[in-house]
Amino acid sequence: MIRAIPWLLGLSVLTYGWTVEVEAKTYRWVNEQGVVTYSDQPPLLRPAEGERDALIAEALELSGTKKALASVPAHIKLQLDPRQTTLKPPDKARATKILADAFRPVVLYGAVRDAFRSSYDPQRMGVVMAQLRSPLFKKIAALELAAGEPSAKADLEVFAQTLARDVPTPARVDLVQRQEAVVRSAALQMDMSVIAFKAVLRALEPAVPAEKRLTTREVEFAEQTLRAQQDALTRGALVRALYTYRTLSDEELATYVEFSESDAGRWFVAAQRKGLLDAMRIAMDAAARQMTAAFPAKR
């Protein structure tokens, strides 16, 4: 549930939950004990017990979103490093500090939390929490965390190379394609990468002489170049999904994917997506304001 922030290759957008219509009049759900039930009647859904903010905090913790946000400053630094070569050492240090402050995990977390507050639905949250707390979804969260560790990068590369000879079954490929169609992790990765790129450009602008700043056309070209990688990102997202969930049975993975397609799953994905993008934009605006105050405009 933590694979959707860009540049954080192990981050998966958490979704997935409890009640899913499998056929026209057949419902399938999993309770907290991992028991699978099929019925021609949907389960009786009750709002999750507990305070709204406490449930949101638990959901962001269990899903891995909170941990993923802690990695955002490192990505911003990667965007900054190649673009600050024209700055003097003291200015570089000041710019780095301003960006690190603006993109603090606590600030990003607050924006994501607020997105859930604004669209909060007790009944949907009840469905989501039932799954996040279930044994299967805890197992999946652990797999996603492991796949996101830096040490897993080499293993993922080896896995990708083996796909040519160890071709996944059509059913397996269909499951990861359905998941990506709902969570759109590659699209979110692209959107957040573009925001990060623009954040660094906008933040550095006051400290860079006018003749060395990128023109509007150059910025647009750079964004187009980034967005041209969308298809490759989508293919990469599918490979990562096959790698991340390789130890799950088809039935386990189907349970995970089916919930992402449910009403509660889509609600959770939408709230998280909005929160992540809002967080980046809020931090970007804060960085720009601080940079404008810290550096006299250079013409």
Residue 81 pLDDT level (bands cut at 50, 70, 90): low
Alpha carbon distance 267, 221 (integer Å): 34
pLDDT tens digits for range 222-270: 778 777 777 787 888 899 999 999 999 999 999 999 999 999 999 999 9
Mean pLDDT to the nearest integer, 105-123: 93
Q: With CA atoms as reference, report the closest residue to 242 among 191, 188, 250.
A: 250
Q: CA-to-CA distance for 197 and 183, rounded, in angstroms?
A: 23
Q: Is 146 helix (H, G, I), strand (E, B) or coil?
A: helix
Domain ranges of the chain: 19-294
Q: Which helix H or strand E contains 22, and what residues bound it?
A: strand 19-23
Band the pLDDT of 34: cuts 50, 70, 90.
Answer: low
CA angle 215, 220, 225 (to 5 degrees): 125
pLDDT confidence of residue 98: 83
pLDDT in tens, 94-110: 878 888 888 888 989 99
Percent of the chain residues past pLDDT 90, beyond the cut: 33
Locus of tokens 């088809």: 250
